[in-house]
Chain A
C-alpha cells in the first residue's frame, strides 16, 4: 500500500450548532427532532418577496474558526448564488461563497503514530445547509424521495484542505483534530447527527482524481477512503485507467457507487447574491475575536503535559475530544491524582465509551462520582479490579458507585484471618496442586488464583499471594 502514492483532500461541512438561528432568517437553528417542514419561514424557503438577513454571530463564529485554523481572513467577503436544480433546495440556488470567501491559506498540524504533519487549508467559507432528503429504503432502490426543509438555511462552515493527506488514517486524524478545534471554540457539536459531513477527493499515482460524496459522518471517512483506494489499485493493477468521476458513498453496503455523468457535470453558474451586500471585515473585529479565542487543543496538550506530568500521548488522547479532556481536568481537580485519574479516563472510561458507542456527555454521572469510586480504592475498601467493574456498572446504570458496591456486596478482603479461611478451603480441595507446588514454585500462582476465585475476586491479590507462599514454604520445611 505504501509503495504507490495516494493523495487525499477533504471538503468538510460543519454546522455551526451553537447559533440560535439559521444563517439568513430567524428560524431556530435547532431543527432536530421536529416534525418535517415545521422549522421554516418564507426566507429560508425562498418564497417570493422574502429577503435574506445575515446572522452576525455566524460571521463572528466563522472568523473564530478561520483564525484557529491559521487562515488569512479576507477583508471583504461576498456571498454568491450557486445555482442547481435539486429537491434539497426549494429556491433552486444555495447561498454560498465563491470568489472572496471568508478566509484562505491556513494550516492544521496532525499527528499520526507520533509524527507531526502539516495539512494545508485552502479555504474556509460560510454557506447555508440544504434540506434533508429521506429515502424510502436505500438510496438506489427508493422509488421516490421525501423532502424535509427544516435543515435548510442552517449556517454551515465549509473547510477545504489541500490534497496533503496520504492515508485514510491521516484523513481521520485531520477530521478528529478539526472536530476537537470546533468543540474547543464552542462553534460546533460534533456529536449531533449530521453536524459534520464531508466529501473527499482521492487520487492514486497514475490515475485521475475521484471525488466521493455523501460521507455523512467523520467516522465513515476512513472506511470510504480505504474502500476507494483498494478499488482504484485493483483497476490500476489490471491496467484499467481510473476515470475522473464523482462517486457516492453507500453507507449501508459500504461501497462507492459511480454517479451518472449528468449528475456530476454541474454548471453552478455562480454570481454575486444581489439580495446581500458585501461584508467588510475590519482589523479591529479580527483583533477582538483573536483576543477572545479560547484555549485550543494544541496549546491544551502542552499545558496538560506541563501541569499534570502526563505523557505527550496521554495528552493527545485526552484532547482528541474536548469533553474527555474536560472530564479529566474536573476529575483531577476533585481527586487530585493525575496519573491514576488519567489512566482511568483514557483507558477504562474511553474503552467503555467506545464499546457502547456513546460520548462523554451521554454519561449519567459526573467526575464527582468517579472521584468517589477512586476514593474507595484509595481507602482500601475495594480493589482496582473491582473499581473497573463498578465503573462499567456506572456507565450502564448511572447508579452511584457506593450504592453499586453496597448492593453487589463488593468489598476488598484484606484481613489475613479472613483470607486464611479461604486458603484452608483451597488447600483442602486441591491437594495434588499443593503437592506439586512444593516442587514447582509456578503452581503457587494457580493456588492464589483459586483462592481469589473463592472470594469472588474480592480478596487483595498481594496479601493472598503472601499468605499462600508462606503456607507452601512452611509445608516444604515440614517435609524436610
Chain B
C-alpha cells in the first residue's frame, strides 16, 4: 500500500516539514516516516468522500462555548527550580538556547 499509488507526502514535502519541526532525520527514518505519513493520510482521505457543502464547520468536539474564568491571581505557580528542572542548559535562572540570527 502507498507505493503503487501517487503519494500524498513527497520526499520534498517531508523535507520541508522536518525543517519546520526542527527535526533532523536520517535516511532510514525518512523512509519509515514517509511510509507512515502516507498511510495515515490515505486513511484520512476517506473523509474527503463525505459531502460537506451544506454543513456548518465545527470548531470543537464539544457543543459548548464561553468557558471563561474571573481575573483573579491563584493557581499553581512554579519556583525557578521547578521551572528549570527539565532544562538541559541553564544559566543564572535562564534557559540557555542557541543563537537566533
A298 at the interface (CB under 8 A from B): no
B83, A87: Cβ atoms under 8 Å? no
A145, B98: Cβ atoms under 8 Å? yes
A345 at the interface (CB under 8 A from B): no
B4 at the interface (CB under 8 A from A): no
Instruction: Report Cα–Cα, A19/B100, bound state, in Å.
Output: 31
B-contacting residues, A140-154, CB 8 Å: 140, 142-149
A267 at the interface (CB under 8 A from B): yes
A269 at the interface (CB under 8 A from B): yes
B20 at the interface (CB under 8 A from A): yes
Instruction: Report Cα–Cα, A20/B69, bound state, in Å.
Output: 12
B96, A148: Cβ atoms under 8 Å? no
Known: A145-B98, A148-B94. A39 touches B77 (CB 8 A): yes
Known: A36-B80, A40-B78. A146 touches B68 (CB 8 A): no
A477 at the interface (CB under 8 A from B): no
B54 at the interface (CB under 8 A from A): no
A85, B59: Cβ atoms under 8 Å? no
B101, A259: Cβ atoms under 8 Å? yes
A280 at the interface (CB under 8 A from B): yes
B28 at the interface (CB under 8 A from A): no
Q: How far is the CB of A299 from chain B (nearest CB, A)?
A: 28
Q: How far is the CB of B98 from chain A (nearest CB, A)?
A: 6
A134 at the interface (CB under 8 A from B): yes
A21, B97: Cβ atoms under 8 Å? no
B71 at the interface (CB under 8 A from A): yes
Instruction: Report Cα–Cα, A21/B21, bound state, in Å.
Output: 31
Give the number of chain B interface residues (Cβ < 8 Å). Answer: 39
Instruction: Report Cα–Cα, A78/B70, bound state, in Å.
Output: 19
B80, A42: Cβ atoms under 8 Å? no
> In the assembled complex, which residues on chain A have CB atoms less than 8 Å from the CB atom of B66?
277, 279-280
> B61-97: contact bitstring with A at CB < 8 Å (1 yes, 0 no)?
1101111111111111111100110000001111111
B84, A21: Cβ atoms under 8 Å? no
B99, A142: Cβ atoms under 8 Å? yes
A19, B71: Cβ atoms under 8 Å? yes
Q: How far is the CB of A188 from chain B (nearest CB, A)?
A: 15
Instruction: Report Cα–Cα, A272/B65, bound state, in Å.
Output: 14
- B67 and chain A: residue at smallest CB distance: A277
Binds B, one of A53-61, A352-360, A451-459, A461-469: A53-61
B22 at the interface (CB under 8 A from A): yes
B60 at the interface (CB under 8 A from A): yes
Binds B, one of A23-31, A173-181, A305-313, A330-338: A23-31
B95, A41: Cβ atoms under 8 Å? no
Q: How far is the CB of B97 from chain A (nearest CB, A)?
A: 4
Q: In the complex, which of the residues B19, B65, B80 contacts A35, with contact meaning CB atoms closer than 8 Å? A: B80
Q: In the complex, which of the residues A38, A143, A145, A272 contacts B59, with contact meaning CB atoms closer than 8 Å? A: A272
B59, A43: Cβ atoms under 8 Å? no
B94, A36: Cβ atoms under 8 Å? yes
Q: How far is the CB of B89 from chain A (nearest CB, A)?
A: 8
Q: In the complex, which of the residues B21, B65, B76, B96 contacts A279, with contact meaning CB atoms closer than 8 Å? A: B65
Known: A36-B94, A147-B97. A41 touches B68 (CB 8 A): no
Instruction: Report Cα–Cα, A469/B51, bound state, in Å.
Output: 100
B76, A133: Cβ atoms under 8 Å? no
Instruction: Report Cα–Cα, A209/B52, bound state, in Å.
Output: 38
Instruction: Report Cα–Cα, A28/B70, bound state, in Å.
Output: 13
Q: For A21, A37, A43, A269, which residue has the most chain B Cβ atoms within 10 angstroms?
A: A37
B77, A277: Cβ atoms under 8 Å? no
> In the assembled complex, which residues on chain A have CB atoms less than 8 Å from the CB atom of B98?
87, 144-145
Give 6 A-B contacts (CB < 8 Å), ordered by A residue. A35-B93, A58-B71, A83-B20, A149-B83, A262-B19, A279-B66
10 more A-B residue pairs beyond the given contacts A36-B80, A83-B20, with a C-beta to C-beta distance below 8 A: A36-B94, A37-B93, A41-B76, A54-B68, A55-B69, A56-B70, A59-B68, A100-B59, A142-B99, A276-B67
Q: Which positions in A face B, CB cutoff 8 Å?
A: 19-21, 25-28, 35-43, 45, 53-59, 78, 83-87, 100, 133-134, 139-140, 142-149, 248, 257, 259-260, 262-263, 267, 269, 272, 274, 276-280
Q: Which positions in B face A, CB cutoff 8 Å?
A: 16, 19-22, 59-62, 64-80, 83-84, 91-101
The 4 residue pairs across chains A and B that have the minimum distance between CB atoms:
A146-B94, A26-B75, A87-B97, A56-B68
